[in-house]
Chains A and B, each alone.
Chain A
């Protein structure tokens, strides 16, 4: 039960186009846990996830103040230091979006894409990593015979698992998921829920969700956000 702290956020203030979205957020996340972030519709929840991989910096009109530290290799590192590499941050902190966003390439190439970005070239190595990632994402059996097919020929649920595999291939320590099942049917959603629970072994997961039942099924801790403030919510 006493797992060490993986992510530490202090006094985060976030505003978008001069509207305050997050107010003085200071929370901690323990490793190998799955925390659900719930609350009424609005941009607070997704925004909070983006403070952890600095993706909000690509959005014009967004501004943030505060501190985020993540423990890598035993020491806490301030991810907002100017010298901190965005590339390595995003390899260690993966993100999965509400609507699956495969790239216009084959299934194989989609999953292998992060390796290509990182400069890996050896085919055997890439084949092996692709298979491993797809297996971990509960997708390998369904696609192993059609890796060269266009990614868009997969169903919605399969595309989402593809995106998860693509994120997993760099073996991130943290996974951020923004309503990962809300664009999928119940059956596909269930598969992904099981997948997420299995991933706790390797990662720390933060999942934004507004399905109460789902939260009950998968979360170890619940954080509720309202009015830009976080409160520990009613979990299980």
Chain B
């Protein structure tokens, strides 16, 4: 009897948790409704942001997010593969043990710290280097973003490198293969699903980050056309506009941003599941 009641209880809690996911999407759609009606949503995505002309297109922010997040991941990827290779295959000694610990600690560093240091250290540096502009641009934001996502990516790659069956490593060793040969011929080819998963997860993280872009990318409302342009991401836009008049159309645009972000991260989740990395790990 008690068993049945508690099972019911557990179920209710799980349902509450699951419902929250759906509610979040629901609220966003509901509150952004005025903008969504009449197929206007797709116009929203492609129009520029010109409040004077009553245009509240979020296209510049979409572009800002795409540029900054993609560049960040593009910078982080080779760095992460290199570090993961070093930790799992190429070096087995003290340096890689230290590096692994440091990477684990780095996952706990808050993004606001990266934003802060980026603002006072990297931005002036970029400003000096390119002799002009404010230094608050796509490039600076992407660099800090890369440092943010690299640790999680590295740990993911290390995990999949180390799940390659030991019998393969043993075979290559006994045949006289070198560490690099082991890495290139066996380890990396054997970790594709893990590498893809790590890449996609990091892309999701990069897309969803707020503080770095908010503090470093400049927040200009224009689609960036070069690395040194100032740009605004969907996430930063939400943070900036939240203080304005609640009833205005300008305000409702943030719900459109929210919808775009939500849909995009959901797609990434589905994509990652299709790689089947987790289920394969569980079957081993």
Contact = CB atoms under 8 A, between A and B. Distances in A.
B227 interface: no
Nearest to B169: A58
A90 B173 CA distance: 8
B282 interface: no
Contacts, number: 54
Contacts of B178: 87, 117
B15 interface: no
**Chain B: interface size category:** 10 to 19
B188 to A, nearest CB: 12
B174 A87 contact: no
B284 to A, nearest CB: 14
Interface in B164-223: 167-168, 170-178, 181, 185-186, 189-190
A114 B190 contact: no
Main secondary structure of the interface of A (DSSP, over half): helix
A82 to B, nearest CB: 17
A166 B168 contact: no
Contacts of A86: 176
B167 A114 contact: no
Contacts of A103: 168, 171-172, 186
Contact of A114 (B173, B176, B186): B176
Contacts of B176: 86-91, 114, 117
Interface stretch (A94-102, A127-135, A227-235): A94-102
24 contacts: A53-B174, A55-B173, A55-B174, A86-B176, A87-B176, A87-B178, A88-B176, A89-B176, A90-B175, A90-B176, A95-B174, A97-B171, A97-B174, A99-B167, A103-B186, A104-B190, A114-B176, A117-B175, A117-B177, A117-B178, A163-B171, A166-B171, A166-B175, A170-B175
Interface of B: 167-168, 170-178, 181, 185-186, 189-190
The 9 closest A-B pairs by CB, nearest first: A90-B176, A101-B167, A87-B176, A95-B174, A101-B171, A117-B177, A114-B175, A91-B176, A58-B173
